[in-house]
Amino acid sequence: MKDIFEQQVQQAQQERQRIAALEKAFIEQQKTITNFLQQQQQQMQAQQYNQYNAHPAPSGFSGAPRQMNSGASSLNRFDCWFCGESGHLNAECLTRMDYLNTGKIVMVKGRACLPDGGEFPVDIRDPLPKNQIDEFYA
Would you list the domain boundaries of the chain? 1-56, 77-138
Determine the Cα–Cα distance for residues 117 and 61; give it in Å rounded to an integer.
Answer: 63
Q: Report how far residue 120's alpha carbon sits from residue 114's, in angstroms, rounded to the nearest whole number.
A: 6
Give the integer Cα–Cα distance in Å for 89 and 43. 22
Q: What is the pTM of this model?
A: 0.44
Kindly report, residue by residue over 1-18, the tens digit of the pLDDT: 778 888 888 998 999 999
Question: What is the spatial distance between Cα 84 and Cα 95, in angstroms, rounded to a whole number?
Answer: 11
pLDDT tens track for 26-49: 888 888 888 788 777 777 776 665
DSSP tag of 5 = H
Q: How many CB atoms neighbour CB 105 within 10 A?
A: 23
